[in-house]
Structure 1
Amino acid sequence: MLFKNPTVLYGLLFLLVPIIVHLFQLRKFRKVAFSNVAFLKPLLTQTRKSRTLKKWLTLFARLLAVACVVITFAQPFFPSITDSPADDSLIVYLDNSYSMQAKGIDGVLYQNAVNQLIEKLPSDLNLSVFTNDQVYKNVSRQEIANELLNATYAPTALSNEQILLKAQSLLGTQDQKATLLWISDFQRSGEQPFQGNGDQLKTELVKLEAVQNQNISIDSAYITVNDASERFVDVFITANYQIDAPVTVSLYNDNILLAKTTASLTNQNGSAQFKIPANTVLNSYLEIVDEGLKFDNQLFLSTNKREKIKVLHVNDSGNDFLKNIYTSDEFDYQNTTFSQLNYNSIKDQDVVVVNEVNTLPSNFAVELNKFMSAGKTLVVIPSLSGQGYSALNGAGNPQSLPVEKRIVSINFDHPLLRDVFSKRVTNFQYPKVENIAFAKASLNKILSFEDGSSFLWQDGNTFFFAAPLNEGNSNFQNSPLVVPIFYKLGLRNRESGNLYQQLGKNNQVTLPIKLEQDQIVELALGEQRLIPEQRAYDSYVELQTGTEVSQPGTYQVLLKNEPIASLSFNVTREENKNDFYNVEELGANTLSSVSEFVQQYKERAQASDLWKFFLTGALFFLICELMILKFIK
């Protein structure tokens, strides 16, 4: 038998009080003469024996009553036979992913779980709690109540393996064991079976279920036409159940309703389209009305003021065919011969096209390599008798081969051609070349000849053509491919339809901002500010964002506390997939509510408590004492 408050046992010293009273009676007897006492002696002897028995019984009853009272306050208990004392340690994983926004019988799943934890757990219990983005170690329920009630949802959920590893890291020692309370809706991740057991953890699962899982979602949005006069924003809507009525989609810009339209869903998928002027700067969000999950009822979008893209055409071919592609409404286009080129102008460009320059001096190649290293786009159209090309990163000197080849293959999956073609065309008028300068089978090819060798390929930030494009050697300039290829090359380092980034992912964003020394840009959403990882180049800055951006919305990009651009972030739609582990997959230790676990936990903790028996014993012995004093004569 063990005691929760062993120091209280010093109260057993009070047992000396009734003993001292019993041994040292303060009453003194005085003899009184009385006649004819001979007849009273037997009766007197019997009375004294009865009185002695009565005193001893009273003493024992008092001693036992006092002892039971003292032991009651010491809270005696027998340790559990099946669980060691270390099993009293409790670790709670509380899933705060966006799928926990679903409504259960008693309200939102996450909020209901938090309320039950705070209301039902013992107030004196020390525990460790962790969510997908927060950790609270060795705390009481009062210490974490406000944090859990006011917590925001996390954009990404921990995997099963990560949950077990984090729970084990919260153990005090390597040999300590604990109970892991795992509270989640157990959304399925991948095809692997559920694994919820740890070496030092006794796992108890609480599976929370929504009353109804019907949900309509704004899945994604893209700019599908992005030219000088207009933009079309295409919106895709999905549902996890069959819906006949059209879904109303609203577009807000700067919190003002800009347009409304409807989307009809076929096979649980539908789309809508908004037409906006090309010069409109979007600080927007799309919205639908749905009673399912709330996070996917909105999708934040943003675009920034479009600066003209600087293109330098170093052209010794005698034909300026690019001037009709790089028009003045979108591009700051310059055409110059190599002999008139100012090397200092190269670093200020976004795109440089080297077209049939016969000789590339080493200092020119150095400038071009610096230009590529800064993340900008270089396009090389070789000369058949070119020299000095080997000084460029990833290139060799051209070697003229008089062989006619047709360009027959398009790599539609290459990032340069993504979203360019409405369908994958295989039967088109094949352009051809009469002579080639580079014979190469690149792994990163964009256009290919019929023998599989590359006509256009990418090497880092450089795009190589295998042959000159002048009309005497090729009819590629008259091909329908020439405009989308060179237009997309011009847009490569600028916005081309991407309206937002996804939270919880590693995102790379390029902004045309020139930073001075020691200047940094910040991201701001309301009162929240953060400094993302960033790398400054001559004419732009590259931002890297990851888990530090945790809330959906449109963030202002600040330079010296002034907004210069905006970036939107949205929660990944993986959280609205209606795919959960069932009870059979989770195993036998699966409960349906936090209250059910807390009740079982309390019963296990109190099953061997003995204080109630000793309190009953104290009352029993007090009653015995009263009975002895009243009925024993």
Structure 2
Amino acid sequence: MTFLYPTYLRALFLVLIPIIIHIFKFRRYTTVYFSNVRALSQLKREKKQQKHLKELLILASRILAITFLVTAFAHPFIPPKNASTKANLNKAGIYIDNSFSMLAGSEGNNLLEQAKQEALNLANSYPADTKFALVTNDLSLQNQRLLDRSMLINRISALEATPARPSLSQIIRVLSRRLKSENNAGPTSVYLFSDFQKNIADIRQLKADTSMNLNIGLLKAQQSNNLLVDSAWFAVPGRIKGTAETLYARVKNNGDQELNDVPVRYFENDSLRSVTSFDLKPEQEKTVTLNFTARSAGIKNARVELTDFPVTYDNTLYLGFRVTGQINTLVIHGNDDGEKYLSALLQTDSLVHYQEVNWQQVRTGDLSSQQIIFLTQLPELSSGLTASLSEFIRQDGTVVFFPSRNGDLESYNSFIAKMQGNPYSGTIDTTAMHIGKLDVTNPLFQDVFSGPNPDGDLPEIKSHFPSQTVNPTALPILSLPNGNLLLSESQPGKGKCFLFTLPPSGENREFFTHALFVPLIYKMVLTSVHGSALYYTIGRDKVLDLPFPGNGNAQGQMHLKGVGNSFDWLPSVQPLPGNRFQMKTGAVTKAGNYKLTSGNGALPLAFNYNRKESEPVCYDASQLTEQLHDAGLNQVQLFKASDAKISYQFNVIHSGRQLWRLFLVFAIMALLAEVLIIRFWK
């Protein structure tokens, strides 16, 4: 047995007080006269012996009471049997996992609240002059310095859940760095309070550190029921005014109860646009469909949400996108015959902003404002135009190429090589043949045919440039019976390139007036609208690659503003080629809709919390012990929440088994014995 505060033992000299009182106790005696005292002499001797014994017992009880009381104030304890070195009580490290997974449990008594209470109890068990290193998931700089007990209590009490998810090995490195900032008098005790999710508890990456005594408090929720919106996506990439939209949302039931008729809602600019319901069995997921019509053009701040308790951070998935009013379409032609079929189809369409220009009058700087560019019957393709078109496709533009019967084959193939397509292998072939095969699974033919095999006659092709599949990344869409390609698709960047092998001349008029041509071209135009990502994940998408808002260039200071809240941040941006830029998102810590503005332009953005926090896959005690053993950490102390209070067990570990309460009970018993002797010993 040893003492936490041995200096208090000096107070044992107080036992001299009852001894002095006992020795120098004087009483006044009164004389009583009797006629015969012979019978009283024997009684006098007996009473004197009993009185002496009573006074000795009273003295002993007082001495024991003082001794026990002083010993209790000195905090006696029995050191742990395995303690080879004396623990350093001047400093201690505490990690509280305040990720969203710690919100599991009953409301008001979730794992985070339990961890905070255990940490507060632990801090109060240390000496008053102990300094603490507090680490939480956000790795806050305000906790970078060691804290005294009062500051620690304030920081822990104000602690809230955060979307940050650092790995366990990173947490240990931060704790080690902060605790080693000053000289240590011995190994420092470090306490970890967490549910130890498998996707962040990289225990095998931990390394043994003789400067720290690692103590782990494994917290586990009594209930793990959680329903969440995991992800969402549209059936097609871009949003166009007036079109019917289909939004898919994946929902997950991470609980052990079957759910029936659960409503899920889709809101757009705070207006309810669609609602559906679903049934879901335990530990399963389902994709639900939300249908609505894009009524108006512009920015849409949307969200998909459901209702679930007590874990609520994953009930809502925020989406941000823009609905296009008109699709910017440019036709670059070599002669008037090259564009007449396209102008007849697209020029009067209200969804298409149609422009055409002669190939000798093209201004390459204007290409970036387009969404789809048609090249039809150009005599040749210059290196400058090829380079501009390559950059246009790399930045998610769409190019459709129709060759000229007498065009420059060398410049064509140079352009096709840049597009990662299949080159023209020879001069024009004038053998007449019908289209032999088409890929009905291609999105261009979605909702065009009623079945897997198209009905009716396909158009006859009377001239084409021979082209075989050489590049496996170029997908064939239309093919001829001799194996030559008629239309193929390649994706050299974020955009697409559609390569035709037939010239739009009069001899191929049957193809350009056939019913197949209309949906084919129209779908190319519609699919050219490529919206940016619907949402980003906080903590994962740390750097975004975005187009400049507005007219495609930085016209003023960038502002990232929260929609419906006071968030306003001036991000630093790094310009990139193609009127794009990179932006860091470290300042965004709250899920929601945001708007990035510059000058008169605006870009919708949405940020959501990482759904990995919703995965209830945590280590249990046996798995955690096995992982620690495999990592070579055999001296780590592990405690479960199902045991006695974790803070009490940690207290036993760093200072042995506490005995001060026992000695306090002994002191009370000694005082009680004194009272009983005086009261009942006559």
Amino acid at match of 1:552: A
Out of 190, 193, 209, the residue aligned to residue 183 of structure 1 is 193
**Structure 1 counterpart of 2:312, which letter?**
K
Aligned-pair distance for 1:520?
2.7
Pairing 1:221–2:221 present: no
1:204 aligned onto 2:199? no
Return closer, same or farther for 1:610/1:286 CA change in 2, 3 Å cut-off. closer
Asked whether the 8 Å contact 1:101–1:108 carries over to 2, the reply is yes
The residue that corresponds to 2:278 in the other structure is: 264
C-alpha spacing 1:441/1:519, structure 2 compared with 1 (3 Å): farther
Instruction: Return the TM-score normalized by structure 1.
Output: 0.70
Match of 2:646 in 1: 597
CA distance in 1, matches of 2:667, 2:510: 108
Shift of 1:536: 5.1
Shift of residue 147, structure 1, vs aligned partner: 4.2
Deviation digits for residues 161-215 of structure 1, max 9, x if unmatched? 444444444441799854443322233329x99648531152424222242x222
1:556 aligns with 2:595: yes
The 3 A distance-change label for structure 1 pair 107 and 337 is: same
| Counterpart code for 2:562 | A
Distance in 2 separating the partners of 1:2 and 1:604: 14
Aligned to 1:40: none
Q: Distance in 2 between matches of 1:411 and 1:445?
A: 15
Alignment of 1:79-98 (within 5 A): 82-83=82-83, 84-85=85-86, 88=89, 89-98=91-100
- Taking the TM superposition and a 5 Å limit, the aligned residue runs for 1:62-101 are 82-83=82-83, 84-85=85-86, 88=89, 89-101=91-103
Q: Which residue of 2 aligns with 1:353?
A: 374
Give the whole-Å Cα distance in 1 for the aligned partners of 2:2 and 2:445: 73
**C-alpha distance in structure 2 between counterparts of 1:459 and 1:332, whole Å:** 25
1:263 CA displacement: 0.8
1:394 maps to which of 400, 418, 422: 418
Shift of 1:146: 4.4
Paired with 1:508 and 1:425, the residues of 2 have a C-alpha distance of 40
Return closer, same or farther for 1:233/1:499 CA change in 2, 3 Å cut-off: farther
TM-aligned CA distance change 1:509 to 1:583, over 3 Å: same
Show the counterpart of 2:43.
none
Give structure 2 stretches of 5+ with no counterpart. Answer: 14-65, 627-637, 669-682
Q: Is the 8 A contact 1:232 1:274 kept in 2?
A: yes
Count matched residues.
Answer: 567
CA distance in 1, matches of 2:203, 2:488: 49
Q: Provide TM-score, normalisation by structure 2.
A: 0.66
CA shift, 1:153, in A, is: 3.2
SS in 1 for 2:198: coil
Give SS of 2:114's match.
Answer: helix
Instruction: Name the residue aligned to 2:309.
Output: 291
Alignment partner, residue 33 of structure 1: none
Once the two structures are superposed, the pairs formed by residues 338-377 of structure 1 within 5 Å of their partners are 338-342=359-363, 345-346=366-367, 348-365=369-386, 367-368=388-389, 371=392, 376-377=397-398
- Partner amino acid for 2:418? G
Q: Distance in 1 between the 2:206 and 2:653 partners?
A: 20
Equivalent position of 2:604 in the other structure: 566
SS of 1:295's partner is: coil
Alpha carbons 1:264, 1:270 under 8 Å: kept: no
The structure-2 alpha-carbon separation of the partners of 1:290 and 1:6, relative to structure 1 and needing over 3 Å to count, comes to closer
| SS of residue in 2 equivalent to 1:291 | coil
CA shift for structure 1 position 81: 6.5
Alpha-carbon distance in structure 1 between the residues aligned to 2:459 and 2:570: 49
Corresponding residue for residue 463 of structure 1: 497
Does residue 112 of the first structure (1) align with residue 114 of the second (2)?
A: yes
**Superposition map of 1:10-409 within 5 A:** 82-83=82-83, 84-85=85-86, 88=89, 89-104=91-106, 107-122=109-124, 124=128, 125-135=130-140, 136-137=143-144, 138-172=146-180, 177-189=187-199, 195=204, 198-200=207-209, 202-211=214-223, 213-224=224-235, 226-236=239-249, 238-240=251-253, 241=256, 243=258, 245-255=260-270, 257-259=271-273, 261-265=275-279, 269=286, 271-279=288-296, 281-304=299-322, 306=324, 308-316=326-334, 318-320=337-339, 321-323=341-343, 324=345, 328-342=349-363, 345-346=366-367, 348-365=369-386, 367-368=388-389, 371=392, 376-383=397-404, 385-389=408-412, 394=418, 399-400=425-426
Q: What's the counterpart of residue 631 of structure 1?
A: none
CA 1:5–1:381: 2 relative to 1, 3 Å: farther
CA offsets per residue over residues 589-610 of structure 1, 9 Å max, x none? 2411797231122223433889
For 1:20, the equivalent position in structure 2 comes to none
SS of alignment partner, residue 245 of structure 1: strand
Q: How far apart, in 2, do the equivalents of 1:251 and 1:535 lie?
A: 35
> Is the contact made by 1:113 and 1:594 (CA closer than 8 Å) also made in structure 2?
no
1:528 to 567, 574, 598: 567
Mapped contact 1:411–1:447 kept (Cα < 8 A): no
Aligned match of 1:585: 623
CA gap of 1:160–1:540, structure 2 versus 1, over 3 A, is same
CA contact 1:217–1:238 (8 Å) conserved in 2: yes
CA contact (8 A) 1:283 1:303 kept: yes
How far the C-alpha of 1:294 sits from its partner, in A, is 0.5
**Equivalent residue of 2:491, what SS?**
strand
* Cα separation, partners in 2 of 1:236 and 1:475, compared to 1, 3 Å: farther
**Matched-pair identity in %:** 19
Q: Give, as a single letter, the amino acid of the residue that structure 2 aligns with 1:132.
A: N
Instruction: Output the CA distance in 1 between the equivalents of 2:448 and 2:314.
Output: 27
Secondary structure (helix, strand or coil) at the match of 1:112 reads helix
RMSD value, Cα? 5.2
Which amino acid in 2 is paired with 1:187?
Q
Q: In structure 2, do the counterparts of structure 1 residues 334 and 394 end up closer, same or farther at CA, with 3 Å as the change threshold?
A: same
Give 1:290 deviation, angstroms: 1.9
The amino acid across from 1:218 in the alignment is V
Structure 1 residues 160 and 74: CA distance shift in structure 2, 3 A: closer
Q: Give the match's secondary structure for 2:594.
A: strand
Structure-1 separation of matches of 2:664 and 2:444 = 79
Where does residue 43 of structure 1 map in the other structure?
Answer: none
Q: Do the aligned partners of 1:224 and 1:231 also contact (CA within 8 Å) in 2?
A: no
Whole-Å Cα distance in 2 between the matches of residues 151 and 484 of structure 1?
55
Q: What is the DSSP-based 3-state SS (H/G/I as helix, E as strand, rest coil) of the residue aligned with 1:575?
A: helix
Structure 2: distance between partners of 1:339 and 1:601: 81
Moved more, 399-408 or 265-274: 399-408
Distance 1:164 1:207 in 2: 18
Q: Is the partner of 1:220 in helix, strand or coil?
A: strand
Deviation of residue 133 (structure 1)?
1.9
